[in-house]
Amino acid sequence: MPLDEPSWWYGGQRGDQRTKLLRPASRVYSWAVKRRFANANPYSSALPVICVGNFTAGGTGKTPLSLLLAKMLKERGARPAFLTRGYSGRAKGPVWVNPQIDTAGEVGDEPLLLAQSSPTLVSRNRADGARAIEAALAASHIIMDDGLQNPALAKSLTIAVVDGTRGLGNGEVIPAGPLRAPLEFQFELADAIVVNGPPDNATLKWLRQVFQGPVLSATVTAEEASAAAISGKRLLPYAGIGNPHRFRDLLASLGGQVIECSFYKDHHAFSEADAEALLARADAAQATLVTTAKDYARIAGASGVRGELARQSLVLDISLAFDERDHERLETLLGDVKPVVWTMNG
């Protein structure tokens, strides 16, 4: 469970007393989201906009899917560009990310990962970001990382990613539960759903019954070199991501011997003290430090003890994989995207 999420969001039930007490606040939150859409005047980009989002707070696997979509588009000869808010970074944008000189503190950790694949622009205002990408005259598609609940930019294709293991929690809206808006409302915003988890999990089966569009199944896989480096080693994992337990379980499935875990809140900025403590724990346990690519982006190029932490850490590189049938369905969805012409009638 992410350290900045209440444990009962996923472990509790709708009848939980805390859920009942927070429902009035959830109704206000839901009203605000719906009102934002009702009053919206979305910008219609000249480029197709593919949005990758999620129904809930926390990590579900959006970034691996965004990277896969960019790869699939480039295999078709397209030139995708990423548009992201740059969460946890100081930059408001629009600003292009340079992974060689920018830091996570400036642009955010996820943009640094995305920029290793395709041109990436950070912009808090998504409409301004789309205009900046258009002005660059280099991109054929915009991949909007996160933003399912953001109405500022019209989308050609919206894919919601769901964690198949955690599901949708207690089905309640923030703060009573993990949903970012009522599920029925969010279903109307999504064209397709990708369930990231074990094949035939209960969440996948349920969504295929209740959602009208395509529901695809995907699994996280480790890159071959990462898997080989981890197998058989005593490991001390550390991470500040939305669902660190998925990271721990993947390490174990690859044959790693997980000794001790150090988990922090999502997008945690590792301090010198954090680095010193992690290095000391690894030394005492005679274990190898291992982290995620997103966490590593926050310490890469650092000096001092943080730099030593980066040098001593293995990085688990992952990707998202589909079976042949669902991969073909995803290819079809991408092939159908066109720029959206938005009208007052929707």
Query: Using one digit for the tens of pLDDT, what is the confidence trace for 218-228?
Result: 999 999 998 99
Query: Using one digit for the tens of pLDDT, what is the confidence trace for 63-75?
Result: 999 999 999 999 9
Alpha carbons 152 and 138: distance in angstroms, whole number: 22
Neighbours of 5 (CB within 10 A): 20
The CATH classification number of 49-220+322-335 equals 3.40.50.300
How sure is the predictor about 271, in pLDDT bands with cuts at 50, 70 and 90?
Answer: very high
Give me the pLDDT at residue 345, please. 40
How sure is the predictor about 301, in pLDDT bands with cuts at 50, 70 and 90?
Answer: confident
- Quick check: 14 pLDDT over 90? no
- Quick check: 257 pLDDT over 80? yes
Annotated domain spans of the chain:
49-220+322-335, 224-316
Contact 245, 269 (CB under 8 A): no
Query: Using one digit for the tens of pLDDT, what is the confidence trace for 193-211?
Result: 999 988 889 999 999 999 9
Common-topology check for domains 49-220+322-335 and 224-316: yes
Query: Using one digit for the tens of pLDDT, what is the confidence trace for 127-172?
Result: 999 999 999 978 999 999 988 999 999 999 999 999 998 899 999 9
- Quick check: 312 pLDDT over 80? yes
Q: What topology does CATH give the domain 224-316?
A: Rossmann fold (3.40.50)
Give me the pLDDT at residue 343, please. 46
pLDDT (average), residues 242-249: 87
- Quick check: 1 pLDDT over 60? no
Question: In a 3-state reduction of DSSP, which class is residue 212?
Answer: coil
Alpha carbons 36 and 28: distance in angstroms, whole number: 12
Q: Which residues contact 287 (CB under 8 A, 6 or more apart)?
A: 233, 234, 235, 236, 259, 260, 281
How sure is the predictor about 346, in pLDDT bands with cuts at 50, 70 and 90?
Answer: very low
User: Average pLDDT, whole number, for the chain?
Assistant: 91
Per cent of the chain over pLDDT 90 is 77
- Give the residue, 314 or 10, on which the prediction is more confident: 314
| pTM higher than 0.85 | yes
- Quick check: 234 pLDDT over 90? yes
Give me the pLDDT at residue 341, please. 55
Cα 142 to Cα 188, 252, 279, 301, 306, distances in angstroms: 21, 36, 40, 29, 34
The DSSP output letter for 315 is E
pLDDT (average), residues 35-40: 94
